[in-house]
Amino acid sequence: MGEVKVIGASLSSFCCRIEWALKLKGVEYEYIKEDLRNKSPILLQYNPVHKKIPVLVHNGKPVAESLVILEYIDETWQENPLLPKDPLEKSTARFWARFVDEKCIVSAWDACRAEEHEKERAVESAQESLGMIDKLIEGKKFFGGETIGFLDLVVGSLPNWLKFLEELGGIKLVDAEKFPSFHEWSKKFVEIPIIKEKIPMPDDLINYFTTSGLAKTIRGSALANNK
Amino acid sequence: MAEVKLHGRWSSPYVYRVIWALKLKGIPYEYIEEDLFNKGPLLLQYNPVHKKVPVLVHGGKPICESMIIVEYIEQTWPQNPLLPNNPYERAMARFWVKFADDNTDKDSPFWLLFRSSGEKQEKAIKESLEILKVVEEHGLGEKKFFGGDKIGIVDIAFVEFAYWLGFIEEIVGVKLLDAHAFPRLHAWQKNLKEVPVIKENLPDHGEMLVYFKWRREMLMASQ
């Protein structure tokens, strides 16, 4: 149903959401790898406002912003629906997707980068957000129910990114005891073949950050100090 | 039809996004004013995560976050649609809704300039103008409204530019959405306020001026 391209970067948690969604729906696409340190003219043309990945290009028309792209994919290719049909359930999924992006990811980064005297409070704040996600998945197999859905793809690589941020920042954010339901979900999620095929791994993230020199920008980083 | 209630605050632009959506679709609702310094138990029950307004309660079930509420309203009451039919155009609209949410919220340069002075304010003014430029060039383009000939979800999302920005400008004494610098956006602002549903559903001008003046004085005094 038309030509589909994904402009992305393999370590981006936002990009893998898009690839997973397309694979779940059996949509063939061409993957265009973007070097974020040297942005291509294609990216600047297709996302002039933010100049960021991921960008989905369908029949030459670009769509940007991962959550917007997920909804576009769901409306365009209707097999294996990602979002619930019911308006209230859909609103709830959207609410938690925003929460993951605006609270969980941000607070985890803040905890990683916090100065020594602020670290404890920042970690507590991140754990408070993660605790809500843990509660949300309690008693359920996946966020989408029996099979994965929109929210599973959004939460997606969060466990791996948290492991990476823990190592980068010398902090502890999650463990099986503190967030048992989240831990169980993440074990099941990464075993799904299309997820396993392409998910940012903590070691790759650490490698990228240390070799690119970005780790030095993280204050108090155990990794930066070891360089 | 199940009962619709809206928990809000008279001065909140986010609440008005929901009011406009309800009014444009002719949906009757009961409005409950919340005192944000003394939040009611119902609000805390309906929005335990953020404890904020607006909250829409439909048949006893709460929905939170203004643009998520607007999408809920759109799906539940399809008359006078706020979103286009075509998936690509819907994606374009949702892109700009997100842009509006990310760039006009309380941490945005527009509010930063209201809360600051001196160099910080200068920087915030510069960043605000950049945002207006992007919105005018890439978002609005040559259209009368973001929704085309009629107002749509993106017009609702840019609620801050429609009315609240004017108070920031007046109290701080800086003109941002200037007719010369941003002719199309300026025209949009004027056209939007002439749409009967919008015109009849805006917080009182005089009360807003008093409120904004008071807030600015409080902020400057605490610095």
Which of A72, A90, A98 has its CB closest to that of B87?
A: A72
Strand B55-58 to strand B4-8: parallel, antiparallel, or no bridges (unpaired)? antiparallel
At residue A219, the pLDDT reads 54
Query: DSSP labels for A77-135?
Result: S-SS-SS-SSHHHHHHHHHHHHHIIIIIHHHHHHHHH--HHHHHHHHHHHHHHHHHHHH
Put simply, whether B79 touches A (Cβ < 8 Å) is no
Residue A149 vs residues A35, A133, B166: alpha-carbon distances, Å: 29, 15, 42
Task: Using an 8 Å CB-CB cutoff, list chain B residues near A58.
Answer: 88
Mean pLDDT of A42-68: 96
At residue B130, the pLDDT reads 98
From B119's Cα to the closest Cα of chain A, the distance in A is 25
Q: How far apart are CA B86 and CA B73, in angstroms?
A: 18
Task: Compare all CA atoms of chain A with the CA of B95 and give the residue at the minimum distance.
Answer: A68
Strand partners, B210: none
Mutual orientation of helices A13-24 and A66-76 as an angle, nearest 10°? 10
| Three-class DSSP category at B80 | coil
Query: Which two tokens mark B133?
Result: 């430029």
Is the pLDDT at A226 greater than 60? The verdict is: no
Is the CB of A88 less than 8 angstroms away from the CB of B88?
no
A54 preceded by cis ω (within 30°)?
yes
Is the pLDDT at A227 greater than 50? The verdict is: no
* Residue of B52, B95, B106, B134 to mutate, testing the A interface (most A Cβ within 10 Å of its Cβ): B95
Q: How far apart are CA A73 and CA A80, in angstroms?
A: 11
Say what the alpha-carbon torsion angle A21, A41, B125, B165 is, to the nearest 10 degrees. -50
From B135's Cα to the closest Cα of chain A, the distance in A is 9
- The letter for the amino acid at B26 is G
Angular region, A88: left φ>0, alpha ψ -120 to 50, beta rest: alpha
Query: Which two tokens mark B51?
Result: 């404890």
Nearest to A174 by CA among A105, A141, A140, A127: A127
| pLDDT, tens digit (0-9, with 9 covering 90-100), for B70-83 | 999 999 999 999 99
| pLDDT, tens digit (0-9, with 9 covering 90-100), for A99-142 | 999 999 999 999 999 999 999 999 999 999 999 999 999 999 99
Nearest to B74 by CA among B52, B42, B97: B97
| Three-class DSSP category at B32 | strand
Residue B154 vs residues A108, A206, B51, B128, B139: alpha-carbon distances, Å: 31, 39, 25, 19, 9
Q: How far apart are CA B213 and CA B209, in angstroms?
A: 6
Taking only residues 111 to 170 of chain B, the set having a beta carbon closer than 8 angstroms to any beta carbon of chain A reads 134, 138
| Three-class DSSP category at B209 | helix
Which of A48, A58, A75 has its CB closest to that of B90?
A: A75
* Contact residues, chain A to chain B, C-beta under 8 Å: 48-49, 58, 61, 63-65, 67-69, 71-72, 75-76, 87-88, 90-91, 94-95, 98-99, 132
Is the pLDDT at A158 greater than 80? The verdict is: yes
| pLDDT, tens digit (0-9, with 9 covering 90-100), for A6-31 | 999 989 999 999 999 999 999 999 99
Average pLDDT, chain A: 92
% helix, strand, coil for chain B, step of 5: 55, 10, 35
B54 preceded by cis ω (within 30°)?
yes
At residue A68, the pLDDT reads 98
At residue A222, the pLDDT reads 54
Q: How far apart are CA B13 and CA B101, in angstroms?
A: 11
Backbone angles phi, psi at A170, to 5 degrees: 65, 40
Is the pLDDT at A218 greater than 70? The verdict is: no
Give this prediction's pTM: 0.95
Angle at B73 between CA B72 and CA B77, to 5 degrees: 120
Is the pLDDT at A88 greater than 60? The verdict is: yes
From A122's Cα to the closest Cα of chain B, the distance in A is 18
Q: How far apart are CA B102 and CA B183, in angstroms?
A: 23
Of all residues in chain A, the percent with pLDDT exceeding 70 is: 94
- Which residues contact residue A210 at a Cβ distance below 8 angstroms, ignoring those fewer than 6 apart? A223, A224, A227
Determine contact, residues A183/A137, Cβ cutoff 8 Å: no
At residue B40, the pLDDT reads 87
At residue A221, the pLDDT reads 55
Query: Which two tokens mark A128?
Result: 């408070």
Ranges of chain B whose pLDDT falls below 50? none
End-to-end CA distance of chain A: 49
Query: Which two tokens mark A214?
Result: 């970005």
Is the pLDDT at A217 greater than 80? The verdict is: no
At residue B57, the pLDDT reads 98
